[in-house]
Amino acid sequence: MGSTNKIAVLVPDLLHPHAVARIGREFELVALPAADPGLVTPQIADKVRGMSAMTTISAAFIDALPNLEIIANFGVGYDAVDARHAGTVGVMVTNTPDVLTEEVADTAIGLLLNTVRELPKAEAWLRAGRWASEGNYPLTRGTLRGRRVGIFGMGRIGLAIARRIEAFGLPVGYHNRRAVEGVAYTWYPTLIELAGAVDTLISVAPGGSSTEKAVDRKVLEALGPNGVFVNVGRGSTVDEDALAQALADGTILAAGLDVFRNEPEVPEALLKSANASLLPHVGSASVHTRTAMADLAVDNLVSWFTEGRPLTPVPETASVNPGARKPR
Ligand code: NAP
Ligand code: 8YV
């Protein structure tokens, strides 16, 4: 890729090795240990035109790079990138939609089954020798049978989860800010109305101010004592103290969580919770899908610098064009 290998692309902090290797082959790779404006030397500020990252990218970091044109986020969720600010100063932001949709939907179903049927605990029972010494694992209070499922965030992944839930023979409702055209599932205009209508809430909503602590005590109470809450969206959408309390006092039956507010830290109360199934943010974490995400992140950089347009821009920067950069 002769036309791009003199373009400097910054990788702050860790990034998928396949993305780093491709950036190294197709661009001039500039690495920094963190996305910290204090680490940006005058030479880096002068030459960097592109970036790919899976860490927090603040307005201050964007402003420290006056020739930056594009941030290729590794992940479909881009709540860690100040995309609104990027759009304001003419910096394109891209994400990695679609290539991870089915993987994350599979994970959501696995987590739902683990939560309701206690499969990890049953395996731990076997591995600890308790099947032989104490007998069968106790019957689970939870079952998928007879459940009504609500999806918070009926977007690409929400729809893929809904299709899987339909195959289980369970009814599906959802809450988004707007009803999705052409979708037959029942739309609820508020999250609390959805929670009141179902007993199983699967959240795949993005992070950010509009969803901050949306799943709170009232939503969990509306879900009820047979309620199951599964989160594969973002931890910031949940009041984690209220969730831990609801699990402890029987307000809901169980929870399955792949995402947390302050990753990789997990609140002690959730770690101690016997009726929570916890995963370390592995929704998209297969070799296949992470490689596809890495390729899409780098393909966005290549397309921007060779064709003048990104493949998968985020809405906040959809109208940003090459040459639009306004240094602050
Ligand atoms: P998407 O297609 O953009 O879907 C997001 C949905 O959420 C949209 O339908 C949107 O509808 C709805 N929404 C957004 N803000 C809302 C609000 N304030 N209230 C109610 N609904 C709201 O995105 P996607 O590709 O499905 O990904 C969704 C999220 O999954 C990502 O943003 C990321 O946080 C998470 N994720 C997690 C993992 C993991 O490893 N666990 C992996 C991939 C993605 P409206 O705009 O109509 O409200
Ligand atoms: C990634 C995700 O693992 O795409 C997302 O929004 O949450 C996951 O697929 C994460 O973004 C990269 O750390």
- How many domains does the chain divide into? 2
Nearest CA residue ID for atom 48, ligand 1: 177
Measured in angstroms, how far is the CA atom of residue 63 from the centroid of ligand 1? Answer: 27
Give residue 268's pLDDT.
Answer: 98
Domain shared by 254 and 192, yes or no: yes
Do 25 and 121 lie in one domain? The reply is: no
Is the pLDDT confidence value at 138 over 70?
yes
Structure tokens at 302: 């290549």
Tokens of 294: 């890495």
Ligand nearest to the CA of 236: 1
Residue 207 exposure: Cα atoms within 13 Å on the Cβ side: 19
| Ligand 1 near 203 CB (within 6 A) | no
pLDDT, tens digit, 9 for 90 and up, residues 42-84: 999 999 999 999 999 999 999 999 999 999 999 999 999 999 9
User: Within this chain, do residues 83 and 109 fall inside the same structural domain, yes or no?
Assistant: no
Whether residues 113 and 256 fall in one domain = yes
Percent of the chain with pLDDT over 90: 97
**pLDDT of amino acid 327:** 72
pLDDT of 129 strictly over 60: yes
- Provide the pLDDT for residue 326: 85
The CATH number of whichever domain residue 265 belongs to comes to 3.40.50.720
- Taking the C-alpha atoms of residue 91 and residue 70, their distance in angstroms, rounded to an integer, is 5
Fill in the DSSP letter of residue 203.
E
At residue 1, the pLDDT reads: 44
Please give the distance, rounded to the nearest whole angstrom, from the Cα atom of residue 15 to the centre of ligand 1: 22
Residue 17 lies in a domain: yes
> Per the domain annotation, does 304 fall within a domain?
yes
Mean pLDDT across the chain, nearest whole number? 98
Torsion of CA 130, 251, 216, 80, to 10 degrees: 10
Same domain, 254 and 132: yes
Model confidence at 304, pLDDT cuts 50, 70, 90, reads: very high
The answer to whether position 324 is within a domain reads no
- How much distance in Å is there from the Cα of 244 to the middle of ligand 2? 24
Identify whether 328 is part of a domain.
Answer: no
223 and 310 part of one domain: no
Query: Does 272 lie in the same domain as 245?
Result: yes
Any ligand 2 atom below 6 A from CB of 54: yes
Instruction: Determine the Cα–Cα distance for residues 307 and 261; give it in Å rounded to an integer.
Output: 38
Please report whether residue 107 resides in a domain: yes
How far does residue 156's CA lie from ligand 2's centre (Å)? 14
**Each residue of 191-243: pLDDT tens digit?**
999 999 999 999 999 999 999 999 999 999 999 999 999 999 999 999 999 99
Contacts of 16 (CB under 8 A, 6+ apart): 54, 74, 290, 291, 293, 294, 297
- Please give the number of the atom of ligand 1 that sits closest to the Cα of 233: 35
Coil, helix or strand at residue 189: coil
Report yes or no: 95 and 77 within 8 Å, Cβ to Cβ.
yes
Same structural domain, 218 and 297: no
The values of phi and psi at residue 275, to 5°, are: -105, 30
Residue showing tokens 């395996």: 123
Average pLDDT of the segment spanning 301-313:
98
Q: What is the pLDDT of residues 75-101, one digit of tens each?
A: 999 999 999 999 999 999 999 999 999
CA distance 107 to 284: 8
> Which residues have a Cβ under 8 Å from the Cβ of 90 and sit 6 or more positions away?
69, 320, 324, 325, 326
**Residue type at position 108:** A
Please check whether residues 135 and 238 belong to one and the same domain. Answer: yes
* Same domain for 170 and 138: yes
Same domain for 187 and 293? Answer: no
> Which residues does the annotation mark as catalytic?
234, 263, 281
Provide the percentage of residues in the chain whose pLDDT is more than 70: 99
| 94 and 107 co-located in one domain | no
Supply the range of the domain harboring residue 63.
Answer: 8-99+287-317
Q: Kindly tell me if the per-residue pLDDT of 2 is higher than 90.
A: no
Asked if residue 314 has its Cβ within 6 Å of ligand 1, the reply is: no
Give the ligand with the smallest distance to the CA of 178.
1
Q: Does residue 325 lie within any of the structural domains? A: no
Q: Which residues pair with 313 in a beta bridge?
A: 94
